[in-house]
Amino acid sequence: MSNVLAVIEVKDGAPRRVANEVVTAARALADGLGGEVHALIVSGGGASPDALGAHGADVVYECADDSLAEYQAEGYTQAVAGFLDGRDYAAVLFGATSQGKDLAPRVAGRLRLPLASDVTGLEVADGDVVATRPVYAGKAIARVHIDASPALVSVRPNVFTPVEARRPGAVETVEARVDPSAWKVRRREVLGGSGDRPDVGEAPIVVSGGRGMQDPANWGMLEELRDALGPSASLGASRAVVDAGWRPHAEQVGQTGKTVSPQLYFAVGISGAIQHLAGMRTAGTIVAINKDPDAPIFKVADYGVVGDAFEVLPRLAEEIRRARAG
């Protein structure tokens, strides 16, 4: 079969932005294979799938169950693997979000299928799926051939720009083949986190601070810039400030943190060590603010401002707020 399945991530009852990227990637692949795009929504029910048809889904399968209202690895693995049982797809695409990075390898393991993780490009060669993946945190780029059907892939957020490609997107309900009695992991509680900002690995705009910010108390200035940039902007950090305990490891960008590809990346008071550059060099536009004109970060920055972050940041937040308002 030449159809492609896009596994849709839902948050607060609606497909997330990354879902449109996954459908867009699936559409391009299906066009290359001469097949259809099917989208699979696993949820507690009621997720509005309109945008999926707009981005190229021929059919949307809703696989809903009360037990799946929140992401639960074992339940979602059962639901996706159960859906795939007896169906034929050339490829199954996930978003390489924090949820997708948990779900895709489990589904792959359960189905005994290989998985190409966090890909930045997909093509069809002689009827097979070939994926492009950054390796060594982006210090090299591999093109890999997936010799399996379906080819399982997770796609890196922010790379496959959503394209409008209207298709029916007809909704069909499917049974959720889940068995909660088999779930072994129990959630005791959830600590902290408002969770209203995207994860730094998924955010289209990232504002990262480094040791040049000098004190955790100064992060208010970075937050102000982030807020000026709108709700899709998130904070990032260099390892130096994570090691110092100023910021959580979840915000660390780099080879031993998150690898990010936002459309816009601000590096403030970050020198640009090789491990940091590895994690952000595929960003669309990079802005560096550093008081040292010889800082290596300027070698990868599209736009650099040499100066004191404490002078530049307030002005920048103000000008961006004005630009976005006007």
Cβ at position 206, least distance to ligand FAD in Å:
13
Cβ at position 230, least distance to another protein in Å:
9
Smaller CB distance to ligand FAD: residue 78 or 271?
271
Q: Which of 133, 146, 163, 144 is nearest to 282 (CA)?
A: 133
Which residues contact residue 193 at a Cβ distance below 8 angstroms, ignoring those fewer than 6 apart?
none
Q: How many angstroms separate the CA atoms of 179 and 42, rounded?
A: 14
Long-range contacts for 68-72 (Cβ within 8 Å, ≥24 apart)? 68/42, 68/43, 68/44, 68/176, 68/178, 69/43, 69/44, 69/45, 70/44, 71/99, 71/103, 72/183, 72/185, 72/187
Interacting residue with ligand FAD among 15, 271, 283, 304 (CB under 6 A): 271
Interaction between residue 304 and ligand FAD (CB under 6 A): no
Residue 100 DSSP one-character state? H
Q: Which of 39, 25, 35 is nearest to 149 (CA)?
A: 35
Smaller CB distance to another protein: residue 116 or 159?
116
Residues 155, 201 contacting (CB under 8 angstroms): no
Interaction between residue 290 and ligand FAD (CB under 6 A): yes
Interaction between residue 218 and ligand FAD (CB under 6 A): no
Which tokens hold the place of 273? 């060590």
Q: In the complex, which residue's CB is closest to ligand FAD?
A: 254
Cβ at position 44, least distance to another protein in Å:
17
Out of ligand FAD, another protein, none, what residue 136 binds, judged by CB under 5 to 8 A for its kind, is another protein
Smaller CB distance to another protein: residue 57 or 316?
316
Q: How many angstroms separate the CA atoms of 116 and 132, rounded?
A: 9
Smaller CB distance to ligand FAD: residue 55 or 258?
258
Please count the residues of this chain forming the interface with ligand FAD, following the rule CB under 6 A.
28
Smaller CB distance to another protein: residue 50 or 302?
302
Q: How many angstroms separate the CA atoms of 3 and 172, rounded?
A: 16
Which tokens hold the place of 156? 């890196």
Amino acid at 42: V
Out of ligand FAD, another protein, none, what residue 240 binds, judged by CB under 5 to 8 A for its kind, is ligand FAD
Smaller CB distance to ligand FAD: residue 88 or 292?
292
Interacting residue with ligand FAD among 256, 263, 300, 305 (CB under 6 A): 256
Interaction between residue 254 and ligand FAD (CB under 6 A): yes
Out of ligand FAD, another protein, none, what residue 187 binds, judged by CB under 5 to 8 A for its kind, is another protein
Interaction between residue 239 and ligand FAD (CB under 6 A): yes
Instruction: Give the SS3 label for residue 184.
Output: coil
Cβ at position 89, least distance to ligand FAD in Å:
35
Smaller CB distance to ligand FAD: residue 43 or 117?
117
Beta strands 128-135 and 140-146 are antiparallel
Q: How many angstroms separate the CA atoms of 107 and 101, rounded?
A: 11
Interaction between residue 309 and ligand FAD (CB under 6 A): yes
Using CB under 6 A, list all residues that contact ligand FAD. 210-212, 238-241, 252-257, 269-271, 273, 275-276, 279, 289-292, 295, 308-310
